[in-house]
Chains A and B, each alone.
Chain A
């Protein structure tokens, strides 16, 4: 997969591309509007990660160009501007998703995967991971071939962990993914723990609880156990 990262903050840009390279993607970077424009004229990309506030122009102006010249390219806007108008405008102009700074890499990762699935006709209706089978369209999970009864939140947790498989997902990022803005402080972690406890109980019943590792209260990791 080939990515274009349009971001004027060099540190953030490096971190995003470092993360994507570790996931075996190719990345190119543009620090300014002009640079991004030139790259878009000469190359094609699978995914563009686009910051709106660029020193020499608004990233929103690149969207019509992407829509017209690169119809198969997926675009994810990343911006600190949390105004609703900007979000609506971005999506109207053809962006596929919108992420507000500060975000978690795990969230970006999950969004990229979801967008790719929608946009690039990579519609696998299911995915197998060890003894787990995910059925995306029906939002169901089967363990060892038997469908498990999960609540909506439990499915969301498991899917988020799966999209970030073999990586540590922080509890903070998990909470934000599930509840967005309403999750405003640590009181609400109790709530996350309750869902996780129920989910783990269900996994234990099927004998697959060791897929979900807990890392000293910092986060969780979804892996295929070694033995």
Chain B
């Protein structure tokens, strides 16, 4: 039974009681009438209060969603602390959540910024000092080898830092500037960029663009994705090998000749998973690819048969 029906019945009863008491002037009817009126007022009060709370709830729910949306876009959440205190427990609760989200967001943002900025400065200092040390005239062969080790590892440190910052940013940037992006255009551009390396290794490029593959994705992330795949196909290739690039309206298939894999294919996409034969590799390239796919509604699979490695990126249906 709705509020309106109950209130309607009460009003009719009170009206009927009022007429009766006017006609008969009976005291008991008057008492009954007052009791009914009081009941009606209480009911009305409860009804209004419930409605107010329900609106408040909706309002805060909307606000929390707004804060969450801002966080996904990696923008500063606009959460203003509620000042009109009515003493509702639910308001305190929402306030608490809002403050907690804001705090976590700032901690993560701070960390990402610190990681990229505060670490790069000492790395530059190390690089610069070592390069300056290298200018001394009385270094032994052994000194040169040590300096080489320092430089190589500092360089690696710097690349690990950049890759980790990128990994943490993919989460925040994947739904910013999303637009239909042509994978074909990106491929053509990258093939020009990589041209001299491809020529140097005498790699044969087989292009099979059957259709234009358009993805709804942030273009920068798309470029990182394709460039990592192409880069892998070049560096894990054999001299005078080949790369085949096939594009359909739903799939990108890059396959290349290469050495046999000495680790399980399932580990391919894990962080810091890498070939033992190359200790300088970071093993982060494919985990970056995987993360971009996960956030962009794409499937990725790796297949290997008879010396040919194949990576397939496909739109999720």
Q: Give the B-binding residues of A (Cβ under 8 A).
A: 9, 11-12, 15-16, 18-19, 22, 53, 80-82, 101-106, 153, 167-168, 170, 172-173, 182, 184-188, 190-191, 194, 215-219
A172 to B123, CA, bound (A): 14
Contact A102 B120 (CB under 8 A): yes
**Which residues of B in the span 42-68 have a Cβ within 8 Å of any Cβ on A?**
none
Q: Among the listed stretches B27-35, B99-107, B124-132, B263-271, which one makes contact with chain A, having 4 or more residues with CB under 8 Å of it?
A: B124-132
Given contacts A12-B124, A19-B128, A102-B120, 5 further A-B contacts (CB under 8 A): A101-B120, A102-B123, A105-B131, A185-B159, A217-B144
User: Could you say which of A101, A153, A187 contacts B121, with CB atoms under 8 Å apart?
Assistant: A101
B151 in the interface (beta carbon within 8 A): yes
> Closest A-chain residue to B128, C-beta based?
A15
- Given known contacts A16-B128, A105-B128, A80 and B147 CB-to-CB distance under 8 angstroms: no
Q: A182-B193, A191-B200 are in contact. Are A103 and B145 (CB under 8 A)?
A: no
Contact A12 B125 (CB under 8 A): yes
Q: A186 contacts B194, CB within 8 Å?
A: no
Q: Which 5 pairs between the two chains have the least Cβ-Cβ distance?
A: A102-B124, A216-B144, A187-B235, A80-B120, A186-B280
Cα-based distance from A82 to B119 in the complex (angstroms): 13
Given A12-B128, A105-B131, A185-B235, A80 and B159 touching (CB < 8 A)? Answer: no
**Measured between alpha carbons, how far is A12 from B132 in the docked complex, in Å?**
12
- Does B158 lie at the interface of the complex (its beta carbon under 8 Å from any beta carbon of A)? yes
The one of B134, B158, B278 in contact with A170, judged by C-beta atoms closer than 8 angstroms, is: B134
Q: Is the CB of A102 within 8 A of B158?
A: yes
Distance between Cα atoms of A182 and B301 in the complex (Å)? 25
- Complex alpha-carbon distance, A191 and B235, angstroms: 11
**Are A53 and B134 in contact, CB atoms less than 8 angstroms apart?**
no
Instruction: State the CA gap A36–B100 with chains docked (Å).
Output: 40
Contacts A185-B282, A216-B141 hold; do A80 and B116 have CB atoms under 8 A apart?
yes
Whether the pair B127, A218 counts as a contact (CB closer than 8 A) is no
Q: Measured between C-beta atoms, what is the minimum distance from B176 to chain A in Å?
A: 13
Is the pair B128, A9 in contact by a Cβ cutoff of 8 Å? no
B151 adjacent to A168 (CB under 8 Å): no
- A145-B2 Cα distance, complex, nearest whole Å: 103
- Quick one: which of A168, A173, A217 has the most chain B CB within 10 A? A168
Q: Which of A170, A188, A191, A194 contacts B131 (CB 8 A)?
A: A170
> Would you list which residues of chain B between 238 and 292 have a CB under 8 Å from chain A?
278, 280-282
Query: In the complex, what residues of A have CB within 8 A of residue B117's CB?
Result: 53, 80-81
**Chain B residues, Cβ within 8 Å of A173:** 131
Find residues 129-177 in chain B having any chain A CB closer than 8 Å to their own CB.
129, 131-132, 134-135, 141, 144-145, 147-148, 151-152, 154-155, 158-159
